Amino acid sequence: MIQILIVDDEKIERNGIKFLLKQLHMEAEIREAVNGVKALEALEEKPVDILLTDIKMPFMDGLELAENVMKKYPQTKMVIFSGYGEFEYARKAMKSGVDSYILKPVDPEEFRNTMEKVLQEIEGERLEDERKEKNRNFVREHVLLSLLNGAAPQDLAASLGGADSLEYVQDFHNMMLLEFDREFFGRTGLDFLENLREEMKEPFLYLNMNPQQGIILLEREIDVESRKEMAQKLLDAIEEKYAEKCYIAVSREFVRPVKLAEEMERLELLMENKFYVPEDRVFSEEQQTEANLSQIDDDTLMKQIRQDIKMKDMAGLRRHFEGLCEKYQSKKNFSQMYVKFIFSNLLKDVYEILPKEKSGGLNQDIDRLYRTNDFQEVTEIINEGIKLLEQSFAINPQMEHREIETVKQYIYAHYGEELSVDMLADQVFLAPSYLSHIFKKETGQNLSKFIKALRMEKAKEMLEETHNKIVNISYAVGYPNVSYFCQSFREYYGVSPQKYRNQ
């Protein structure tokens, strides 16, 4: 709604201007003031878009008012009314920032033309301001996404004109990572951000990382319990609205200065907890897997250890083996025979992957294990097997696990289709969260980010090398929602697909 202030010491004149304004049938809030002093008081209370003022008034005339308004409210459009004998005043007024002047008595047609011209200027300026703000937001989101993905802050700052250009990163205090089991963001007709605004009661910035992940950056300090409660309410709303399974990892309070890439790494590690405790949907640092391995059931923990052995993940194997030891050492209600049975099966799993020349000691070690009455010796026997495994891997190193290479080849061949961690895990018979973990360990990159990076690179190649329409390119690289594709491309490369092609 347009805000207008009419300033004239004659009530009849003010009424006449109000009448003419109503003939324009525009949405406007119209206020009045009897002189320049009262006008400035009204502007202090609430600025306006258009100031309509007479020249000759007591206490403060129209010229002095115009000079004050130009200094304090430079965006305000000013139209001044003058009589035939006041042309010199009008000329001075134009030098004081007045946009137009109208001779008295006011001609309705001239008034209409003048107001239409002023309104067009206001509309043009608003559109330009919106365009600039939109561009600033795009740059901001591009920078934040780049930082989350590990870009060097100094390189981004240099490209934007200095370190001050990244100061807004310090405005954030914590964040939440949302992750779905399959591609969720970018669906046609998805109104996720609008619903998110309705659910969130705190100031936030939302960033889409890829079709399965989104980030919520919170602008206010909130204690961890409140953040977890907020996350749970958001999960409930997502399930009710979209009938989709979602997980949320809640960050700690940011350490200053904020290093987004490190915080993102922490959240992705937290998200791996969904493998161990699939019934939980919200994860925080207080619930890290390492601190809770003793609470995990035998089947899940043994499955994880077998995955570690299969994937030659020695760090994971040792960590999960320690968790298994902690579990049985801290509880006295297990029989010795049951414990020995569990650990002998683990020893068999270790020996199964050893080369034949080193696997001959299995029966001897199992015999030692069943003869001992010392839990510490049981763990030492397993540790000896793990050391043999470690030596074997060192002699026959693999740059990449077969499963990871299989997954990568599948992505290269099917990047234009819907891809989910669950679907890819099925290809290599691994647990989805474990595939995510080992993929990042092998490639240094999150699986969802790897897929997005490949799709963006393929889209860039098509824009450079073909004349395909952007809508066709969007579909070809796995984005059925074209507007989402354009937004993702611009956030990734800093320019829209069309602008990239033109360049």
Q: Is residue 146 part of a domain?
A: no
CATH of residue 451: 1.10.10.60
Q: How far apart are CA 497 and CA 484, in angstroms?
A: 12
Output DSSP code: residue 357: G
Q: How far apart are CA 55 and CA 89, in angstroms?
A: 7
Are 408 and 367 in a shared domain? Answer: no
Q: Is residue 378 part of a domain?
A: yes
Last residue of a domain, one of 106, 123, 148: 106
Q: Which residues of the chain have pLDDT under 70?
A: 84-97, 161-165, 188-189, 275-278, 286-298, 330-334, 356-360, 394-401
Q: Is residue 351 part of a domain?
A: yes
CATH of residue 64: 3.40.50.2300
Strands 77-82 and 2-7 come out as: unpaired
CATH of residue 279: 3.30.70.270
Residue 289 has a pLDDT of 42
Strands 100-103 and 50-54 come out as: unpaired
Q: Is residue 305 part of a domain?
A: no
Are 273 and 186 in a shared domain? Answer: yes
- Domain assignment of residue 452, given as a range: 402-502
Task: Look up residue 267 and give its amino acid.
Answer: L
Are 176 and 280 in a shared domain? Answer: yes
Strands 204-210 and 213-218 come out as: antiparallel
Residue 247 has a pLDDT of 92
Name the domain count of the chain.
4
Q: What's the sign of the alpha-carbon dihedral 468, 470, 473, 475? A: negative
Q: Is residue 264 part of a domain?
A: yes
Q: Is residue 28 part of a domain?
A: yes
Phi–psi pair at 28, nearest 5 degrees: -150, 145
Residue 270 has a pLDDT of 83
Question: What predicted TM-score, i.e. pTM, was given to this entire model?
Answer: 0.62
pLDDT digits 0-9 by tens, 101-143: 888 888 999 999 999 999 999 999 998 988 888 778 888 888 8
Q: Is residue 131 part of a domain?
A: no
Give yes or no for a contact between 454 and 415, defined as CB atoms under 8 angstroms apart. Answer: yes
Q: Is residue 160 part of a domain?
A: no
